[in-house]
Amino acid sequence: MKNNKGSSAILILMFLTAMIVMIMAFIEISKEMSIKGECNALTLLWGKAILSEYDTNLYSDYGIMGFHGNESDVNEKLDKYCKFSFNNRKSVKYTNVKSELGEYRLSSPNNFSDEVDKRMLLCSIDTLKNKRKFRKDDEYEGLEIRNKYVLETLPSNNYEKSNSVKELRSKIAKGMSFEDITSDCGELVYIMKYFNNNVYVRDEKETLFRNEWEYILIGKDDDKKNFNSAKRRIFLLRNALNLAYLYQDTEKRHLTLTVAEAIAPGPWMIAVQFLIMETWALIETNYDLEQLLKGEGVILLKTDDSWHTDLDTVIDGDTFKDGLSDEEKNRLNEERNNINTIDGGSGVGVSCEMDYEKYLLMFLSTMSRDVRLLRMMDLVQMNMKLRYYRDFDLAEYNNGLAYAITVNNKEYEMNVKY
């Protein structure tokens, strides 16, 4: 009987011991889970606190959220947060913190593009068109950048790649419309909202360049050179399209052949016809460019109604005559009264939304995406230097951070982003 009682006591003691061990294990596990949950919550909070230090000027001017700092700055802040939260906590032993900002630098085209996309979700080309203002001729002219440090620290430094008129012309020849050409380029909406061009203004704040769209397209450090180069590209495109129209228009093609035959009968007739057609296209293109710079529209593919210049202007002009030999000039003078020409169209009733901006947008859409983004970043950096901080550098700004803290010999990792 005594043996049975002794055995029961031992069993009860073992059971109680097991229960105590289980309870202690449960308490330890609960404590670890509590610490883990607390660490995860706090590390997220600290990351959000650092993100909240975004540059308000950068956000208000360009809609870009980014905080200034490097790994050392972030580590110092996180270390302060950790010590403040874990000091005098016997159950928590904080030992280390580290961070990584490399993949979040705003000097990366992909990170900059992420911020651009977030701001442009609710914008469209049509809504932004209504917010522009036509420039006055006496408004501020841009500058040329001569500071080597400014040039060397631009995001696009040493990155050269451009687009061609030929590529855009081939797309138009395939029947692609403005909407087709620009549909896959979301950055265009951002360009329309935050940057100015030679003809239209949307941002009234001080800018280094007058011709910002043109800078994105051309990338030179001289404002006037950017405008002239962009204007030349539009000229070359319009001239090619106008010349193509002349060859497709049966009446005008036959008429130019008749005039060429009167001036240079024989083997030189075709060469003179080409000279007539090229000169005619050139004169029409000069007219088109004048209209675009006045804020008017020029239809992409011309028709009889939208063609403005006449053949008289061509054959009586110095541009055409300078390309003729003395014999051909004499024959032109002799046959001038016998040459019948046709007038250009009035343009009345021709509705056209293809203004200066849309021609630039088509060129911008055919650029390398990285080059386009890098030059947009150049403008942001240069204007922020001009308006606020002389030492502003996108490479020192971040749109997120990765970091880890070590507590109780366990590492807690976190990634946060705007």
| pLDDT of 3 | 59
| pLDDT of 348 | 44
Q: Which of 34-48, 52-66, 117-131 shows the lowest per-residue confidence on average (mean pLDDT)?
A: 117-131
The DSSP output letter for 163 is -
Q: Which residue has the higher pLDDT, 30 or 207?
A: 207
Q: Which residue has the higher pLDDT, 288 or 35?
A: 288
For residue 346, pLDDT beyond 50: no
Which of 329, 388, 399 has its CA nearest to residue 103?
399
Give the CA count within 13 Å in the CB-facing half-sphere of 137.
Answer: 2
Q: Are 43 and 59 in contact (CB under 8 A)?
A: no
> How confident is residue 210, by pLDDT bands cut at 50, 70 and 90?
very high
Q: What is the 3-state secondary structure (H, E, C) of 254-322?
A: HHHHHHHHHHCCCCCHHHHHHHHHHHHHHHHHHHHHHHHHCCCCCCCCCCCCCCCCCHHHHHCCHHHHC
Q: Which residue has the higher pLDDT, 397 or 272?
A: 397
| pLDDT of 34 | 66
| pLDDT of 182 | 77
| pLDDT of 69 | 96
For residue 345, pLDDT beyond 70: no
Q: What is the mean pLDDT of residues 369-374?
A: 93
Q: From CA 274, how far away is CA 253, in angstroms rounded? A: 10
Domain borders along the chain are: 2-102+400-417, 109-392
Residues near 29 by beta carbon (within 8 Å), at least 6 away in sequence: none
| pLDDT of 350 | 45
Q: What is the mean pLDDT of residues 339-366?
A: 73
> How confident is residue 343, by pLDDT bands cut at 50, 70 and 90?
low
> Token digits for 65?
């959220």
> Token digits for 222?
């001289």
Q: Which residue has the higher pLDDT, 249 or 168?
A: 249
> How confident is residue 125, by pLDDT bands cut at 50, 70 and 90?
low
| pLDDT of 347 | 46
Q: Which of 99-108, 343-352, 386-395 shows the lowest per-residue confidence on average (mean pLDDT)?
A: 343-352
| pLDDT of 334 | 75
- Please state at what angle helix 2-51 crosses helix 71-86, rounded to 10 degrees: 140
Q: What is the mean pLDDT of residues 222-228?
A: 95
The most confident of the ranges 13-17, 107-111, 268-272 is: 107-111
DSSP-assigned states of every residue in 334-353:
HHGGG----PPP--TT----
Q: What burial class does residue 339 get, using C-beta atoms within 10 Å of its C-beta: 0-12 exposed, 13-18 middle, 19+ buried?
A: middle
Q: Are 12 and 368 in contact (CB under 8 A)?
A: no
H or E element, residue 191: helix 187-194
